[in-house]
Structure 1
Amino acid sequence: MRPKSIVWKYFKKVDGKTVTCQICKKDLKYFGGTSNIKQHLIRIHPIQFAAENDTPTEEESYLEVTEVSTPQPQTSNITNKIQETQEFTSLSGPSGVNTSTSEVISRKRPKQLKLYGGESNVEISETKIQQIDNALINMLTKDYQPLSLVENQGFLEYSRALQPLYKPPSRKKITYDLLPKKYAEATSALKNILSNVKYISLTTDIWTSDSTRAYITVTAHFVSEDVLCSGVLATRELPGSHTGENIGTALKNLFSEWDIENKIVAIVSDNGANIKNAITEHLQLHHVPCVAHTLNLIVSDSLKSETLEIIFKKCRNLVGHFKHSSLASDKLKSVQEQMRLPLLKVKQDVPTRWNSCFIMLKRLNEIKEPLCVALASSTKPPQFPTVEEWDIINEIIKVLKSADDMTTIISSQSYPTLSMVIPLVRGFQYTLRNINTVTEVGTALKLKLLETMNRRFGGFETSKIVAKASFMDPRFKKLAFGNEENANSAEKWVSEELKLMFALKKNQTFNIQSSQQPQAEEQEENILPNIWAHFDKKISAVKTYSTPASMGMITIRQYLEMEILDRKKDPFLEFWAKHKLSFAELYDLALKYLSIPATSVPSERVFSKAGQLTNSRRNRLSPKNLDQIIFLNSQF
């Protein structure tokens, strides 16, 4: 007996010439064969059709279904800078929309699904499978999706709707095959770039996941083809105690793995004693304290005052009243509507972040009037700040505004380099001094900030590595410094380094010339009368003035005499790329010092995002997979 076609699971005969689809209730003509109604199932209900995987019966005629290619958005990264275009395929238009056969056939069809009399021939090219697999890995890593997504029923149905011929890889295949391959390709590309880079600076930070595992993240920053580049190198588990020795060993192993031990200029991290010890003592490298951490300490220390704490507590109670009471919140909204004011809500501060306190005060000051009106009808209102306290709040906001601006700049996505630190600090100090404060509390806060800044930031201008970075930036040169003495010191340090470079170059040139001079020519010189002796003596006298030191001084003078570059322009693309031939040695120093980040924010940003990977839905991730996903995510 001939097997019954599965289409009758979804269709019901009305009479001898009509059938009804049990899914969408549409009537179709029936001529005794099932090819027509099966086409309806494939085009309009592809999920149900793909789920069946039935074997067609003899009564089913030749059927052709065409794949439709759709270009995928291009992606780029710092490793290969190659834009890849992937194509997804689909069997039909959106569910419920009747796409005509002519429309489907007129589209591009690289591969066909063909069903014949008694057997099925289902095909999809290996290239297409690889393209879709690659797009899947990109989605999982770019959006930090759990790898278990491919096991979810909803995702599987969605995948079948897009391409019934494609079977998503299992979580196991992704974990042990596709993800490692993608990671290997990306790391190989980055290693190839780094092999052609002379100088690299790093940022690093230690963080703890939800599963209490400790990790250390390292990011690399360098100039490639006159473009400032950055990327994650690794996120590795850090077992055991976080001593300077253990941290140093972990970093040393990572540097060896990437073959960058002899290219590192400096490492930027927070002010923790253990990580600083690892960098300076165990690795014998330059440590640059994170400017963002230092600024946070400065402002936090300055806000430690009993008078300020009383005001902050009163403001927090006020915010809590409207945060925890829907009636109070609705009342505030109603008052703002009546007063035709923007519908702004209160902002809660976070004790560990001073700028959240600034945001809280700023918002309260903005909605002070509607707050007062809304509290008037409250049965148990919190204590409202007095007129004098509002004056103090206004001055606190003015004083902290410049600190908040600097925090925003140094924590931006397009991170600032070390060369910007000195002018930023000087600008902050100048702004603070020119703020007019009337209240005693406001004046005390301003003076405390200035004093703490001088103490914590004072060493930046006299730090060789920071001073050289500012000096080598054509936007700042010697103008960045607070006094002439510090500017001259920076020039001296750069001059000394140039002197060594010119001396090395001179020795190399001399050795090459000596090795190339023919011995026969020397013998001829000895035989002939030395009629050139007088001239050669004059030349030697002139050459004594062209010492490495004098060449360095001349180069620096020429550099300083050139016009200052606009502050908003790129120092590499707009200056050094154009002058690297005439200032070859200075260009080399620019590559060395202008790629150093001002903060460890790049590393911190990594683990802030990585928190999504270590929550309850993703706690099965091994440290190795975590490292691979974070690395690939940084490529987008």
Structure 2
Amino acid sequence: MDEGGLLGGKFLFKKLPDGLLDKTRVRCTICKAEFKYHRSSSSLAYHLRAKHPTESTSTGPRQSTLQEYGACGRITKNVREKVTNSLVVWIAKNCRPVSIVEDDGLREVIRAASGDECYNLPSRGTIVSRLHTLYGDQRAQQSSKLVQVRNDKVTTLGTDSARNMVAAARLLPFEHMPCMAHILQRTVTVSLNDSAFERALAKCRKIVGHFKHSPANAQELKAQQAAHGHQTEPLVQDVPTRWNSTLEMIKRIQRNKFGLTTILTQQNSKVTMLTDQELDRLQKLEELLEPCRYVTELLGGERYVSCSMVLPALCHLFRIMEPSDDDPVYVLRFKKIFTTDLAQRRDSSNLTWLKIATALDPRFKDLKCLSKDERREVWASVHDLLMSETDAHQPSAQTTEEPSPKKSKMSICLLGSPDSDTEEEEDAIDCCLNLYKAEPKIDIGECPLQWWLKREGAHARLAPIARKYLSTPATTVPCERLFSLSGHIIQKKRASLSSDNVNRIVCLSNWLSAKKD
């Protein structure tokens, strides 16, 4: 209530000649009518509603009735269930801690979004119980899908190149497929350790540490980036186990070289900026490492066929790493070490499987990444696969109910030798391969598995073999991502998580993300 006024200033106490206020009489500020006042504004509010209805809505807040309070802004039971289930899915998919339901900020956000000022988050016990139920449902769905899969679909085992993993793979009845991304990154590491770039890289690491370990220096870098019109970004420190981190470190230093030079010069720091010669070397190294990054990311995809891409991708790298007359000595040394090491690692991988997969991919079936002699060997291997598949599906002599009648010598002479059946089968297989070779190539962005699915009728004998080889992943990068996810979950504040709960969270995060995609 304003001093000397009632109902938001719509009524004022009458002012006496001596300047004092008469608290027994009030005057309407709209129509100037006077009324008696006895500590109750009911009659005054009635006057506003009757004479001034447009002004009566702003007379101030009114206490809600019990029925109005229960019906206004309260979410229903069904909506509450949806909110709880959405919280469970969010916690599982994004690996959030269950204790987040005790966060006052989250509660206020949901209250503001729902309009229910009395909403309370579900308890931790409710969320844990729902997580277990969700895990059971999702696991049952995944199990039902696995039941429908034939047992013979498991053909290869992918691992990194660690000696213990390679030794374990020999004991299992599967083809071993080394992770090509691991192989490539190992080659990059070996080449960098034995190259003339190491001194420049060491200076880069000191510069990055100088700015990452000091908030003041980092703030100065942001100011310099803004002054030069560059994007505000922190420097990146390379880590041996983090792929392509050396390349990203070089890129960011190259983009911010003017700002870094200005700051280090003003500070008169012991950390010195790279010289022009060293910057030129890093530029050469960036040109060498960029194709490796592209190939690593290409082979590490999860949503497309990658096994048949290995040999064309490696062939592309070998072409880039070919020595040139214009290359400096340190570049020639890097290329020599890189090609020698990568060739050795490639030869020790499952080349036969990779070659057949490349041949059965309608994108690369011309096999330009191989020599002519290797091409003939690959098609001979595919021919043998077709022959072995044909022999495996033929009924054995023991399954026949009646023995076939013996042929007379005259019929053998007239109809041909027993090898004629084999010759006919050879001709049929050659016809099958020639029909596939005559098919036009498809675009690099198309899916070869979809191509085989649409043409399974025309290539009935070759399609099952193609699916078997093309479905093999080229890398174990998806597994590595799951390992990294586990490391993000198990932290200092979540050290008491049981192994079962960690398993549930990792599985649910993967299953729910795949379901959305």
Give the TM-score normalised by the residue count of structure 2.
Answer: 0.76
The residue type paired with residue 592 of structure 1 is: K
Shift of 1:373: 3.3
Deviation, 1:592, is 0.9
302-311 or 589-598, larger mean C-alpha shift = 302-311
1:598 aligns with 2:453: no
Question: C-alpha separation between the residues in 1 aligned to 2:133 and 2:83?
Answer: 15
Aligned in 2, Cα 1:498/1:386: closer, same or farther, shift over 3 Å? same
Q: Compared with structure 1, are the counterparts of its residues 192 and 345 closer, same or farther at alpha carbon in structure 2 (3 Å cutoff)?
A: closer
SS in 1 for 2:381: helix
Unaligned runs of at least 5 residues, structure 1: 1-13, 19-24, 47-89, 92-123, 199-259
Count of residue pairs the alignment pairs up:
456
Report the alpha carbon displacement of residue 330 of structure 1 after superposing the two structures with TM.
Answer: 4.6
**Corresponding residue for 2:490?**
614
Q: CA separation in 1, counterparts of 2:214 and 2:455?
A: 64
Please point out which of 501, 504, 510 is paired with 1:628.
504
8 Å Cα contact 1:396/1:445 also seen in 2: no
Offset of 1:166 from its aligned partner? 8.6
Give the corresponding residue for 2:354. Answer: 466
* Unmatched 5+ stretches in structure 2: 1-38, 46-57
The 2-side partners of 1:151 and 1:362 are apart by 43
Q: Give distance in 2, aligned partners of 1:543 and 1:164.
A: 87
Equivalent runs, 1:69-468 vs 2, <5 Å = 90=75, 124=77, 133-152=84-103, 155=106, 162=114, 170-175=123-128, 177-198=129-150, 260=151, 262-281=152-171, 283-305=172-194, 307-343=196-232, 345-353=234-242, 355-412=244-301, 414=303, 416-433=305-322, 437-460=326-349, 463-468=351-356
Deviation at 1:277, TM superposition (A): 2.3
Greater strand share, 1 or 2? 1
Q: Which residue of 1 aligns with 2:34?
A: none
Partner residue in 2 for 1:552 = 429
Mark the CA change 1:15 to 1:606 in structure 2 (over 3 Å): closer, same or farther. Answer: farther
In structure 1, C-alpha distance between the alignment counterparts of 2:314 and 2:158, rounded to whole Å: 18
- Residue 478 of structure 1 deviates from its aligned partner by 4.3
1:485 aligns with 2:373: yes
Are the aligned partners of 2:305 and 2:470 in contact in 1 as well (CA < 8 Å)? Answer: no
Q: Name the CA distance, whole Å, in 2 between partners of 1:386 and 1:401.
A: 22
- Name the amino acid aligned to 2:364: F
CA distance in 2, matches of 1:591, 1:534: 42
Whether the 8 Å CA contact 1:499–1:551 is kept in 2: the answer is: no
- Residue in 1 aligned with 2:68? 39
Deviation for aligned residue 1:378: 2.4
Q: Distance in 2 between matches of 1:625 and 1:565?
A: 46
Query: Following the alignment from structure 1 to structure 2, what is the Cα–Cα distance between the partners of residues 334 and 578?
Result: 58
Percent identity over the alignment is 25
Asked if the contact 1:292/1:599 (under 8 Å) is kept, the reply is yes
Q: Which amino acid aligns with 1:39?
A: E
Q: Please tell me whether Structure 1 or Structure 2 has the larger radius of gyration of its CA atoms.
A: 2
Q: CA, structure 1 residues 145+326, in 2 after alignment: closer, same or farther (shift >3 Å)?
A: closer
SS at match of 2:356: helix
- Mapped contact 1:481–1:487 kept (Cα < 8 A): no
Deviations 1:326-372 (A, max 9, x none): 55445544555554455554332224446222222222223333433
Distance 1:332 1:352 in 2: 27
Q: Secondary structure at the match of 1:634?
A: helix
Which deviations, in whole Å up to 9, do the C-alpha atoms of 1:505-556 show, x marking residues without a partner?
3337x999x65x9x9xx9xx99xxx9xx989965998962554444323212
Measured after TM superposition, the shift of residue 421 of structure 1 is 0.6
Q: Is the 8 A contact 1:395 1:437 kept in 2?
A: no
Point out the structure with the larger helix share. Answer: 2
Cα deviation 1:484-522 (Å, max 9, x = unaligned)? 2222222222211211211233337x999x65x9x9xx9
CA separation of 1:327 and 1:542: change in aligned 2, threshold 3 A? closer
Which among 492, 498, 511 is matched to residue 386 of structure 2?
498
Task: Check 1:172–1:477 CA distance in 2 against 1; reply closer, same or farther (3 A cut).
Answer: same
Amino acid at match of 1:171: R
- Contact 2:208 2:235 survives alignment (8 Å): yes
**Contact (CA 8 Å) 1:465, 1:593: kept in 2 or not?**
yes
Q: 1:250-278: CA deviations, max 9, x gaps?
A: xxxxxxxxxx5x43111111112222222
Retained in 1: the 8 A contact 2:305–2:471? no
Q: Which residue of 455, 458, 473 corresponds with 1:582?
A: 458
Letter in 1 for 2:68: Q
Does structure 1 retain, via aligned residues, the 8 Å contact 2:157–2:174?
yes
Aligned-residue Cα RMSD (Å) equals 3.7
Confirm or deny that 1:27 pairs with 2:60: yes
